[in-house]
Amino acid sequence: MKIRDLEIGQQGRVVGFEPGDRTYRQKLIQIGLSKGSEFTLIRKAPLGDPAEINCGGILLTLRKGESDIVIVERI
Amino acid sequence: MKQTTIALAGNPNCGKTTVFNALTGSRQRVGNWPGVTVERLEGNYSHADTDVLAVDLPGIYSFSAHSPDEEVSRNYILQSKPDVVVNIIDATNLERNLYLTTQLLDMKVPLVVVLNMMDLAEQRHLEIEVEHLAKHLDCPVIPVVGSKGTGIDALKDAIAKVALSHHISSTSVVYDSQVEAAIALLMPMVANAAAENHADPRWLAIKLLEEDQLAMEITANAHADVVATELARISRHVGDATDIVIADGRYGFIHGLARDVIHRRLELRRTVTDIIDRVILNRALGIPLFFLIMYAVFFLTIGVGGAIH
């Protein structure tokens, strides 16, 4: 499941990362979107891209293509 | 007079420059780091018969050298060997900010941690046990309010003390047992390269496992085979890429710390930013508000500006 599959207001948890792009993955981890971290989907732009999440008080706005490397589950 | 050099490191928006200004006052010089368009800010202050040169490093989340900012910061700490590294932390965002601290602990540099924006943390009902945190990190932790200058004298004292003692924290992040096994294997192999570059062998081993470019250069890629075998072994056992496992180790350490030293008295759900966002990012109000603001801007520049002209 990806962040784009969540509805606004729903909470998710990071369960893993797609293989590949290490640099971008590291960037997300350093900012706080690490494995096991929980977040809330706050809002999506009208066409669903980008989406804003709140991860432990940190607001992150991610592009669809980029956020697809994050594998999440709904909680 | 004695000379001391200190480097200020911290996340973007942690108030690093505010603390830098509070330390050095108006005695500052702006320049560039050699070869890159990253601003270099230097300043001086005198404290207890010592002339202190403070270098403000760019704001970074990590020392992984993925960007010029990170590279400049890391090279400065490794090559210029400042007497003290002052790690500035936004007290309202302790967990995220400590990620950089765990890397400084790995690097085994003389460290002073500054908890900045303590007034905001209090407003948000965050209680941080400063003494307790200092004990865990085995380095001085100084609470300050950079914007008001509170705590700056205590910070200068702490810096002077560490500059004298060169105390290096004995705290280190303990990683997953598979990663630790790989570190133990690599450490003796990289000991010589580490000593030549005045780096810590454990740090170098960790960096090799993170497939870090600079670490590979330092070791002249001599252990590429061993590293590759270890990386494969770790991901087979743990089920994740090694850099994720190492990051997990760092966050595990941070969450353990946070549980011990932070007490949230009550959670304030809605901050000012949230309220502003609710209005200006509203589906219905957003576009009309945008036009209203654009109209106001044009009115000011053309209407009012023209009349004055």
> What's the CA gap between B158 and B143, in Å, rounded?
11
Contact (CB<8Å) A26/B62: yes
Q: Write out chain B residues lying below 8 Å of A57, CB-based.
A: 92-93
Q: Quote the minimal CA–CA distance from B96 to chain A in Å.
A: 6
User: Where does the pLDDT of residue B265 fall: very low under 50, low under 70, confident under 90, or very high at 90 and above?
Assistant: low
Chain A to chain B, count of Cβ pairs less than 8 Å apart? Answer: 49
> What's the CA gap between A4 and A64, in Å, rounded?
7
Which pTM value belongs to this model? 0.86
> What's the CA gap between B122 and A1, in Å, rounded?
38
> What's the CA gap between A61 and A44, in Å, rounded?
9
Within chain B, residue ranges assigned H as helices are 16-24, 68-75, 94-107, 118-123, 130-137, 152-165, 177-196, 201-209, 213-218, 224-238, 242-261, 272-280, 283-298, 305-308
Closest residue of chain A to B270, computed from CA coordinates:
A57
Asked if residue A60 lies in contact with residue A53, where contact means CB atoms within 8 angstroms, the answer is: yes
Question: Would you say residue B219 has pLDDT above 70?
Answer: yes
State the pLDDT at residue B227: 92
Task: Identify the bridge partners of residue A60 per DSSP, sorted by sequence position.
Answer: A53
Q: In terms of DSSP bridges, do strands A58-62 and A51-55 run parallel, antiparallel, or are they unpaired?
A: antiparallel
Within 10 angstroms of residue B48's Cβ, the number of other Cβ atoms is 12
Q: In terms of DSSP bridges, do strands B126-128 and A51-55 run parallel, antiparallel, or are they unpaired?
A: unpaired
Q: Quote the minimal CA–CA distance from B45 to chain A in Å.
A: 33
A 14-43 near B (Cβ less than 8 A): 16-17, 19, 22-23, 25-27, 29-32, 34-37, 43
Q: In terms of DSSP bridges, do strands B84-90 and B111-116 run parallel, antiparallel, or are they unpaired?
A: parallel
> What's the CA gap between B288 and B306, in Å, rounded?
26
A56 close contact with B: CB closer than 8 A:
yes
Contact (CB<8Å) A25/B66: no
Question: Would you say residue B267 has pLDDT above 60?
Answer: no
Question: What ipTM is given for this predicted complex?
Answer: 0.85
Question: Would you say residue B268 has pLDDT above 60?
Answer: no
**Which is higher by pLDDT, B158 or B286?**
B158
Percent of chain B's residues with pLDDT above 90: 54
Q: Write out chain B residues lying below 8 Å of A37, CB-based.
A: 251
Q: Residue A50's closest CA among A66, A29, A32, A38?
A: A66
Q: Write out chain B residues lying below 8 Å of A71, CB-based.
A: none
Q: Give, for A31, the enclosing helix (H) or strand (E).
A: helix A22-31
B96 close contact with A: CB closer than 8 A:
yes
Q: Write out chain A residues lying below 8 Å of B92, CB-based.
A: 57
B309 close contact with A: CB closer than 8 A:
no
B110: helix, strand or coil: coil
Report pLDDT digits (tens) over A16-65: 898 877 888 888 888 888 888 899 998 888 887 888 998 877 888 998 88
Residues with Cβ within 8 Å of B86's Cβ and at least 6 positions away in sequence, in order, are B6, B7, B8, B9, B19, B54, B112, B113, B114, B155, B159
State the pLDDT at residue B276: 84
Report pLDDT digits (tens) over B183-193: 999 999 999 99
Contact (CB<8Å) B247/A16: no
State the pLDDT at residue B206: 95
User: Where does the pLDDT of residue B198 fall: very low under 50, low under 70, confident under 90, or very high at 90 and above?
Assistant: confident
Q: For an interface test with B, give the residue of A13, A27, A34, A52 to mutate (most B CBs within 10 A).
A: A34
Mean pLDDT of B100-124: 92
